[in-house]
Structure 1
């Protein structure tokens, strides 16, 4: 099968383009990665480039040894992915100890995988373990309203989760485990990768203060939908705060507990405190 005709490649391209159209990817902002299924690797293996030299990942991810990933390229623009994916995207292979990678397709005009590759792979390793392999997508975007909230809300999981949940009834159903928050850190390095992977042990959403959002999911639709839901909730909250410093009514802790029963979700009680 031609690589660009593969369903997972088309899904990757569509998700990147959808994010760009939301306004989340100015210039070369944001990155996306997908862990290929074995059947997907076999379907394109004959079309992959001959193996080249190994390059250090910058971290160790033994739980992903030998796996293949589709990733956006460093310095590449999301707006160009749908136009020329072979220039903007790569398929990489990890070595048998999870410490090095090599490019097997894409980035035909040069360059390497996203500078956030250590963060993506460390978090893929965590989500593969905690979800039994179900999660395959990691997505980072510069979501405007969520970034704005990191300047005015306390940077705690409890406050962000509760405020976002209150903005739309579907929120505690879409992300019942809540969201994690990290104070400002230099992006692209091992330190932020470690802190994000700690949050990914229990959340599917990590908010990076003054920077953006980092989400994990089973497939492209669920992962994009998760980020879209959080960002829309942030937009509603900003509109509420711009109209009044206080809310006349909202979803109460007991309302949330009723949602648990009807939608069969478990909402951590630490997010249901009385204000």
Structure 2
């Protein structure tokens, strides 16, 4: 079986294509990574290169040492992944100490994994722990309306969460724990990875001010769905603000009634 016929790679490709069509990935913006399951990697292992030419990750991720990841390439365009996967994405292996990685497939015409690799891998490690090994996908995109809101709303998790909860009834059901927010930081380094990781212990999505959104999911559908839901709620908010603001909204009691009906635990700290 060709490597690119593997279901997890096809699912990865589908997300990149769907997301580009949504308008979330201008030029080489955004990135995606997937923590490959043992049975998935074993099916294609004979077709992969040996792990050599180890490169530093830029952080330490001991609890994902020895694991394999499918990642987008730095400087690569999401729109090109479906056209030539082997030139735009890569499978990497983490060494036995969680300090280095090796490319064992992909990026055939050169390149390196996404510049956000430290953030991705650190958060894979965190979500692996807090979800009891269920989380597999880390996804970063540049959804227009979510970014736009970071210019007009206070940059704190409570304000953003409550605003998005109000915009669409499904949002508090999908994000009962809330959504994290980080003021602007230089992307790609350990500092933003550290602060994102702290928030990812509590949330499945973090908004990076004036930059984009960072989501984690147990599978591709969940991660894409988190991003899609945030952007849709943000679009409604942008339209409401442009039409003169709210004249009525969902009340705290409404939220409590919703939580009871759907048997979810809303983060009470984010109720007004």
2:7 aligned with 1:7: yes
* CA displacement at 1:259 relative to structure 2: 0.9
Aligned to 1:104: 104
Aligned to 1:163: 163
Q: Alignment partner of 1:101: what SS?
A: strand
Aligned to 1:253: 252
2:255 aligned with 1:240: no
Aligned to 1:80: 80
Q: Distance in 1 between matches of 2:49 and 2:2?
A: 13
Q: Distance in 2 between matches of 1:82 and 1:9?
A: 10
Aligned to 1:220: 220
* CA displacement at 1:271 relative to structure 2: 1.0
Q: Distance in 2 between matches of 1:106 and 1:190?
A: 25
Q: Distance in 2 between matches of 1:91 and 1:195?
A: 26
* CA displacement at 1:51 relative to structure 2: 2.4
Deviations 1:196-250 (A, max 9, x none): 00000000000000000000000000110111001000000000000013x1111
Structure 1 unaligned spans of 5+: none
Q: Alignment partner of 2:242: what SS?
A: helix
* CA displacement at 1:61 relative to structure 2: 0.2
Q: Distance in 2 between matches of 1:179 and 1:51?
A: 37
Q: Distance in 2 between matches of 1:264 and 1:48?
A: 46
Aligned to 2:123: 123
Q: Which moved more, 1:57-66 or 1:46-55?
A: 46-55
Aligned to 1:89: 89
Deviations 1:130-165 (A, max 9, x none): 000100000000010000000000001000000000
Scaled by the length of structure 1, the TM-score of the pair is: 0.98
Q: How does 1:1-275 map to 2 (within 5 A)?
A: 1-245=1-245, 247-273=246-272
Q: Alignment partner of 2:158: what SS?
A: helix
Q: Distance in 1 between matches of 2:78 and 2:135?
A: 22
Structure 2 unaligned spans of 5+: none
Q: Distance in 1 between matches of 2:67 and 2:258?
A: 39
Q: Alignment partner of 2:178: what SS?
A: coil
Q: Count the aligned residue pairs.
A: 272
Deviations 1:58-101 (A, max 9, x none): 10000100000000000000010000010000000000010000
Q: Distance in 2 between matches of 1:70 and 1:92?
A: 6
Would you identify which runs of 4 or more consecutive aligned residues in structure 1 move more than 3 Å? none
Q: Distance in 2 between matches of 1:3 and 1:170?
A: 38
Quote the RMSD (CA, aligned, Å).
Answer: 0.6
* CA displacement at 1:192 relative to structure 2: 0.3
